[in-house]
Amino acid sequence: MTFPISYLFFFSTLLIGSVLSISSSSWFGCWLGLELNLLSFIPLITTKLHSYLSEAAIKYFLVQALASTVLIMSASALLFNPELSHIMILLSLMLKLGAAPMHFWFPQVMEGLSWPQAFILLTIQKLAPMFLISYLTFSEALMNIILYFALISSMIGALGGLNVTMMRKLMAFSSINHMSWMLIAIYMSDIYWLLYFSLYCLTSGSVIMILYSTQSFSISDILNQSSKKMYLNMLVPMNILSLGGLPPFLGFMPKWALIQFMSQDLMIFPLAVLLGSSLITLYFYMRLFIPLTLMSFSSFVSNLKNSSLFSSSPLMMTLTSINLFGILLPIPFFL
């Protein structure tokens, strides 16, 4: 895909805004970086004049503007009531992230985006708010609020995707579920959530790459494309199940690390909630993509030989191979 010059310019300023927020030493600088990030992402959404894109841009702008207003007002009141101000700042950042129960806007905005824009919303747009949340772990009250959002996000992300057949909405609820694991990782240590976030970007990027290359926006689109391109019967389930955290794929490895550390810290109830929600997400992933595997092995091999798998999609194959890296990764590394 070729991008216009304006797209590259606004994408650069979007990254600059995120870096400014992360590296700032004051809440005003953080707010300024988030505003630059917001004002750069809106033109990226509206690069094409389409009603769905315009609606998504308006919804995203209104929610982010509300969160930014709460953030700057709370930061201004830090001298008068620091405890309440820090709580309000944390709530505004959760709204920017789309963490449950403040997720009402996230699936709706996702449905109106193209796949490249959806990838930015799922990954890059979460970076600055997650870093700022990690700076707010200095009191027990704030830590308990983060834990509450993590547990609610895990349940909403799992239950919200049960009856969904549109892929962008499914990816939105999957992101909400993954957000719960990242918030728990923030609750424990900065290095854990950075590891989880990096691998989440990799696995979600591999899924979005396949969906974008086939222009698939629903389960029926994937099934139709799979009948024409037989290699999708192998690539789609592998990458989706890696995103869902099924062992032994790469997406399971950060979850395995968090399971180990949560067990050592005796966080039994949060761990049970996260594991239960992960089982639900794996259930609807497997329920949706089981038709891709219901074909004879001989017909799959014969069609695979005639398909241009390695010549037409080397990047897709590379990302899939990275997802399989979890099979070779030694488990003691995460102990």
Looking at every residue in the chain, the average pLDDT score rounds to 86
* Residue that is written with structure tokens 């639900």 in the block: 280
Q: Which of 103-107, 221-225, 275-279 has the lowest mean pLDDT?
A: 221-225
Core vs surface per residue 41-60: b (16+ CB within 10 A) or e: bbbbbebeeeeebeebbebb
Please report, in angstroms and rounded to a whole number, the separation of the first and last CA atoms in the chain: 42
Tallying the residues shown for the chain, one arrives at: 335
Average pLDDT of the segment spanning 321-331: 59
Q: What is the value of pTM for the model shown?
A: 0.90
pLDDT tens-digit series, residues 223-254: 787 766 766 777 788 888 889 888 888 889 89
Angle between helices 219-228 and 167-188 (to 10 degrees): 110
pLDDT tens-digit series, residues 155-182: 999 999 888 889 999 999 999 999 999 9
Domain coordinates in residue numbering, the chain: 5-334
Report the pLDDT value the prediction gives residue 331, as an integer from 0 to 100: 47
Q: Which of 236, 221, 117, 243 is nearest to 173 (CA)?
A: 243
Average pLDDT of the segment spanning 263-271: 92
Task: Name residue 32's amino acid.
Answer: L
Report the pLDDT value the prediction gives residue 327, as an integer from 0 to 100: 56
Give whole-number Cα distances, 92 to 69, 155, 235, 276, in Å. 9, 21, 38, 28
Q: Which of 93, 331, 282, 268 is nearest to 178 (CA)?
A: 282
Higher pLDDT, 39 or 295: 39
Residue 122 CB: number of other CB atoms within 10 A? 25
